[in-house]
Chains A and B, each alone.
Chain A
Amino acid sequence: MSVVARGLTKRYGARVVLDACDLEAPEGSIVLIAGSNGSGKSTLLRCLAGLARCEGEVRMLGAPPGRARGGEVAYLPQSVELPCATTVREILDLFGADERDAPADWLPPATARIGGLSGGELQRVAILATLSPRPRVALLDEPTADLDGPARASLFAWLARLRDAGTTVLVTAPAPDRDELARAADRRVDLVGGGRCVQAVA
Chain B
Amino acid sequence: MVAERYARLELRVATRSRALAVAILVAALGGIVVAALGAVTFRQLGLRAVTPSALALLDLLMLVPTLVAVVLGATSLGAPGDVPLRAMLRARGAAAGDLALAKVIASSAGAALVAAAAAAGAAAILSGSARAADLAPFAVIVAAALFACCALAATGVAVASLAGDRAQALPAAVAAWAVLAIGVDLALLALAPALRGGGAALLAAAALDPVEAARLAGLLALGADAPVLGATGTILSERLGAGPALAGLLALPLVWAAVMTWTAGRLLGRRDG
Which residues of A pack against B, CB within 8 Å?
A: 46, 49-53, 66, 68-77, 79-86, 90-91, 93-96, 114, 126, 129-130, 135, 139
Contact = CB atoms under 8 A, between A and B. Distances in A.
A93 B6 CA distance: 10
Q: Chain B: interface secondary structure?
A: helix
A46 B88 contact: no
A72 B12 contact: no
A93 B91 contact: no
Q: Chain A: interface secondary structure?
A: loop
Nearest to B82: A83
Contact of A81 (B84, B92, B94): B84
A139 B82 CA distance: 19
Among B80, B88, B89, residue most surrounded by chain A Cβ atoms (within 10 Å):
B88
Among B79, B80, B82, B87, residue most surrounded by chain A Cβ atoms (within 10 Å):
B87
B196 interface: no
A74 B94 CA distance: 11
Contacts of A46: 87, 273
A101 to B, nearest CB: 15
Contact of B273 (A52, A79, A81, A129): A52
A140 B57 CA distance: 54
Contact of A50 (B5, B12, B273): B273
Given A90-B9, A93-B5, A83 B85 contact: yes
B91 A81 contact: no
Interface residues of B, number: 25
Interface of B: 2, 5-6, 9, 12-13, 16-17, 79-85, 87-94, 272-273
A90 B89 CA distance: 14
A53 B93 contact: no
Q: 7 closest Cβ contacts across the A-B interface? A: A70-B93, A75-B91, A83-B81, A51-B273, A49-B91, A81-B81, A82-B81
A71 B92 CA distance: 4
B88 A95 contact: yes
A110 to B, nearest CB: 15
Contacts of B17: 85
Nearest to A77: B84
Contacts of B91: 49-51, 66, 73-75, 139
B93 A75 contact: no
A120 B91 CA distance: 23
Contacts of B94: 70
A70 B87 CA distance: 14
B93 A83 contact: no
Contacts of A139: 91
A112 to B, nearest CB: 15
B273 A83 contact: no
A53 B273 contact: yes
A84 B16 CA distance: 11
Nearest to A129: B88
Contacts of B81: 81-84, 114
